Amino acid sequence: MLWLAWSALLIFATIVIGGGVSARRRLPDLQPWHRIVLRDLRAGDVTARSTLNDYLGIEDAAFRAIHDQIEQRLDAAERVPANRYNPDGISHPSRLGTDWNRTQILSPAAEPVGGALLVHGLTDSPYSMRTIGEDLRARGYYVVALRVPGHGTVPAGLTDVTWEDWLAAVRLGVRHVRTTIGDNKPLVLTEFGFDSIHKCLTAKTAESPTGSAGAPARIEREARTLVNVKKLA
């Protein structure tokens, strides 16, 4: 009877392994947007002198790379309407007029009554914060809808990013909004799925723009005044 058990186990293993190999062979080839890992903001890039414009420069280079290395090199078979990297497709961000995969700054018509930093969720992009951002701008807020590093570009972007990179970008966003609106106006932070970033940012040991203790007094005040705005969407 023992040989029957071993035979059954061998047959089962053969089926499982053979099925796995067969399935692997049937998988489609990885496309360029699966293989290319773009250069994005790293926590090590950020210093006490860094600004949001520095981050936007890195972001702009990443999106130029998408245009040059992916969109302009698509094979005919990849130029289908649903492909977001097809410039002529229905899913390409340009069809909206504004590319909400990128960081967006929404300025009110008059003097800001306050500032807001909007942080989208994991695997998302600033597009998910569009309604909230436009509502806050209409209320007189200066709004930054931040693209978190690794997002909005290519799927492979999330294979080479850390939470420290995300936190560094959020710090730059906070500093930019605070500098723009001044010290005496409210600054609000809202996020979808990145509540841990908010907790880190407001923790007393994480107030420095570079991630170390001993933050300047203004950054300390910024961290203490951040609150979650009511979700409007």
Q: What is the pTM of this model?
A: 0.74
pLDDT bucket at 44, cuts 50 / 70 / 90: very high
> How would you class 129 by CB atoms within 10 Å of its CB: exposed for 0-12, middle for 13-18, buried for 19 or more?
buried
% of residues, the chain, pLDDT over 90: 43
Order of all β-strands in the sheet with 114-119: 104-106, 141-146, 114-119, 187-191
Q: What is the pLDDT of residue 22?
A: 55
Predicted confidence at residue 9, as pLDDT, reads 67
Predicted pLDDT of residue 13: 63
pLDDT, average across residues 159-188? 91
**Percent of the chain having pLDDT more than 70?**
70
Question: What's the pLDDT score for residue 207?
Answer: 35
Nearest Cα to 144, choosing from 99, 107, 109, 196?
A: 107
Instruction: With a cut of 90, say whether residue 135 has pLDDT above it.
Output: yes
Report CA 69 to chain centroid distance, whole Å: 20
Instruction: Answer with the residue of higher pLDDT: 17 or 18.
Output: 17
**φ, ψ (nearest 5 deg) of residue 144:** -120, 115
The token pair at 191 is: 């996020």
Looking at per-residue pLDDT, the higher value among 167 and 195 belongs to 167
**DSSP per position, 104-160:** EEE--SSS-SEEEEEE--TT--GGGGHHHHHHHHHTTEEEEEEPPTT-SS-GGGGGS
Query: 146 — phi, psi (to 5°)?
Result: -85, 135
Mean pLDDT calculated for residue range 43-55: 94
Q: How confident is the model at residue 24, as a pLDDT?
A: 56
Give the per-residue pLDDT at 7: 62
pLDDT on residue 26: 59
DSSP characters over 6-49: HHHHHHHHHHHHHHHHHHHHHSPPPPHHHH-------GGG--TT
> What pLDDT is stored for residue 211 in this prediction?
43
User: Counting beta carbons within 10 angstroms of the beta carbon of residue 197, is it exposed (0 to 12), middle (13 to 18) or buried (19 or more)?
Assistant: buried
CA 122 – CA 109 distance, rounded (Å): 31
**Of 30-44, 74-88, 144-158, which has the strongest mean pLDDT?**
144-158
Whether residue 52 contacts residue 147, with contact meaning beta carbons closer than 8 Å, is answered with no
Place of tokens 């923790």: 203
* Residue bearing the bigger pLDDT, 126 or 160: 126
Cβ atoms of residues 188 and 115 within 8 Å? yes
Taking only the tens place, the pLDDT of each residue in 204-219 is 333 344 444 333 344 3
CB 168 within 8 A of CB 208: no
pLDDT at 200: 54
What domains are there in the chain, each with its CATH number? 98-225 (3.40.50.1820)
**Average of pLDDT values for 71-89?**
87
CB 117 within 8 A of CB 189: yes
Q: Given this model, what pLDDT does residue 199 score? A: 52
